[in-house]
Amino acid sequence: MQQPIQNYIEHTLLRPDISDKDIENLIDEAIKYQFVGVCVPPYWAKKARRDIGKNPIQLVTVVGFPLGYSRSEVKLKEIESALREGVNELDVVVNISAIKTGMYGWVKAEIAQFAKMIHEQESFLKVILETAYLNPQELEQTAKVCIDAGADYLKTSTGFAPTGAEISTVQRLRSLAPSHVGIKASGGIKTLTQTEAFIEAGAERIGTSASIAIMEQWQEKIKHS
């Protein structure tokens, strides 16, 4: 491991039943632990931007989340709104239903539209592949079209599918992607051991809502090493 563990962690809160207080706590914790980013629902992005202030924390939100089957024009509107509110990184769910219909050319064109809009604002596009639903061939072909379309990161999971990130999937994505495309592991990551294993497998970012527990385990480990 090259860097302190907090440099990998996007402190995440995407449950549908959170309140303004939960967002305030999330930002306070991110400032305290110096997490690389926070990932919040679209509805809370504007407040999160204000609460982050001048702190060096990336503001991340989600698009077409978590099912991926919104219309392109709706995802574009969602991206446009988020960018206007100062979001730095957009985690967009790929249209899994279009993949299952074999429409890879369409998927590539859709992601390319998103990349153009996001890159014009010097922000990052992370494409969530929701790997739980993809077989190895679909995973490979989807990763390829997303890379070709300009994705900055490939992200494994929403956390709302039957399974989340898996080590073998992260290794596979890392081997498929060129070095300028990062991998974000997310979904079911709850411990320091898991976090370190995903980083070892090639993840540059870890999306988790168990960030505080992971940091406490990390600090304990540092103390005894």
47 belongs to the catalytic site:
no
Contact between 43 and a copy of itself per CB under 8 A = yes
Residue 155 among the catalytic residues: yes
Q: To the nearest whole angstrom, how small is the minimum distance from the Cβ of residue 95 to a copy of itself?
A: 6
Q: How far is the CB of 211 from a copy of itself (least distance, A)?
A: 20
Task: Specify the stretch interacting with a copy of itself by CB under 8 A; choose among 27-35, 71-79, 119-127, 203-211.
Answer: 71-79
* CB nearer to a copy of itself: pick between 69 and 105: 69
Determine the Cα–Cα distance for residues 188 and 204; give it in Å rounded to an integer. 17
* Among residues 95, 169, 194, 209, the one that binds a copy of itself under rule CB under 8 A: 95
Nearer to a copy of itself, 132 or 199 (CB): 132
Candidates 197, 192, 202; CA nearest to 222 is 192
Three-state helix/strand/coil letters over 64-91: CCCCCCCCHHHHHHHHHHHHHCCCCEEE
Q: Are 98 and 106 in contact, with CB atoms under 8 Å apart?
A: yes
Contact between 106 and a copy of itself by CB under 8 A: the answer reads no
Which of the following is catalytic: 51, 75, 91, 152? 91
Report the C-alpha gap between 51 and 27 in whole angstroms: 7
Residue from the set 6, 31, 66, 144 that interacts with a copy of itself by CB under 8 A: 66
Size of the site for a copy of itself (CB under 8 A): 32
Q: Which of 100, 116, 119, 221 binds a copy of itself (CB under 8 A)?
A: 100
Instruction: Name 53's bridge partners.
Output: none
Q: Does 116 bind a copy of itself (CB under 8 A)?
A: no
101 binds a copy of itself (CB under 8 A): yes
Q: Is 135 in the site for a copy of itself (CB under 8 A)?
A: no
Helix (H) or strand (E) holding 61: strand 58-63
CB 194 within 8 A of CB 218: no
What is the C-alpha end-to-end distance of the chain, expressed in Å? 14
CA separation (Å) from 41 to 15, 37, 100, 186, 218? 8, 13, 27, 16, 27
| Amino acid (one-letter) located at 163 | T
Report the alpha-carbon distance of residue 50 to residue 132 in Å, rounded. Answer: 35
| 28 is known as an active-site residue | no
Under the binding rule (CB under 8 A), the answer on residue 120 touching a copy of itself is: no
Catalytic hit among 75, 108, 126, 184: 184
Active-site residues, by number, are 91, 155, 184
Q: Give the binding site for a copy of itself (CB under 8 A).
A: 14, 16-20, 41-44, 65-71, 73-74, 77-78, 81, 95-98, 100-101, 130, 133, 160-161
